[in-house]
Amino acid sequence: MLDAYFTPVPEELLTQEFVNKKSLGGHLNVYHKGFPKITKAQIALIGVGEQAHKIRREFYPLNWRFDNLHIVDLGNFAEPENEQQRNFAVSEAIGELLALNITVVILSDEKSHLHAHFHGFRDTKKPLEVAVVSHEINLDSGSEIFELLQSKEKSSNISNIDFIGTQAYYISEETNQQVERFNFENYRLGKIRANIDETEPVLRSSDMLFFDMNSIRFADAPETHLQSPNGLYAEEAAQISRYAGLSNMLRSATFFGLTNTRNAKASDTLTAQLIWYFIEGFNSRFNDHPEKNDSNYLIYRNRLDNTGHEITFYKSRKSDRWWMEVPHPYENQTFFIGCSYKDYQQVCDGEMPDRWWRAYQRYLK
């Protein structure tokens, strides 16, 4: 039974202060005296560690503006005897929720539990894309990204990792070369600040999001380990979180990285607001994803004279969003990746979009 993995939300968070007609807390189906029914649920909130309740304390009083949206709060993962049991519980619970077509939002502790989370997608047939919002890229042996890459070496179930908000002085040249070798996307902080809208197509193609709060500057998120003067502004973090919620493909989001000894509430408040924006994006989904020769899209075909590649763009009549069709180099099938009008302009100018080329190179390997 799914309820065996969880412990209920404390009584103190279910008072009138947090649960009323206007608040989120008043509209959530919360695990308290009995495990909630999840048959109609669209989003499930899950906490990891007692510190998750600090985020709930800031999240529940936020205004409810999501008519007809069904959200359950399943409480926290039960405290395990060891890390292996924790990983098993995370993987099994996420797997069961995904099988019910429920999007999972995790209020995590200092860790992302990325590898266990990834294994929750084990029944997903298509190759997965992972978006990681972080100040760094840690590919060292034993790191969570390293374990994910080990999974990539053993199977074809992961196609891409997108890094968002990275800062060059936290990334070694060796790591940078590895990212290039894998043809992963790396959207540095400066690039995002110049045009944050370019992160939307990245998240639109992603299946899961891992948002490290250490990617946000100290002034906006003081209860992080990094406490860097540089990083994402709170407004940028909120926009990225909304884009993630808006993604048709994205099935889970984890917010993590705050210290377990925090006392001030500013970082918990910001995390709660990021989750609110994720839900706001989810509630605004267009549910448009193209298929080959789809009549619901305007189709533009352009051939690059210098390479001979034909780049096909699909523009949604419903949302005005753009996709590129990427042919598989060895099989008779194509894939669609999110893009922007800027990519289309590049092709019109005779330039190969970096986004298309990297995706094509990943299929070659």
Rounded Cα distance, 313 and 199, in Å:
18
Domains of the chain (ranges; CATH) run 2-283 (3.40.800.10), 297-364 (no CATH)
Cα–Cα dist 240/203, whole Å: 8
DSSP structure class, residue 78? P
**What is the pLDDT tens value at each position of the chain, 365 positions in all?**
799 999 999 999 999 888 899 999 999 999 999 999 999 999 999 999 999 999 999 999 999 999 999 999 999 999 988 989 999 999 999 999 999 999 999 999 999 999 999 999 988 888 899 999 999 999 999 899 998 888 765 556 888 999 999 999 999 999 999 999 999 999 999 999 999 999 999 999 999 999 999 999 999 999 999 999 999 999 999 999 999 999 999 999 999 999 999 988 999 999 999 999 999 999 999 999 999 999 999 999 999 999 999 999 999 999 999 999 999 878 888 999 999 999 999 999 999 999 999 999 988 76
pTM for the whole structure: 0.96
| φ, ψ of residue 341 in degrees (nearest 5) | -60, -30
Cβ pair 48, 106 in contact under 8 A: yes
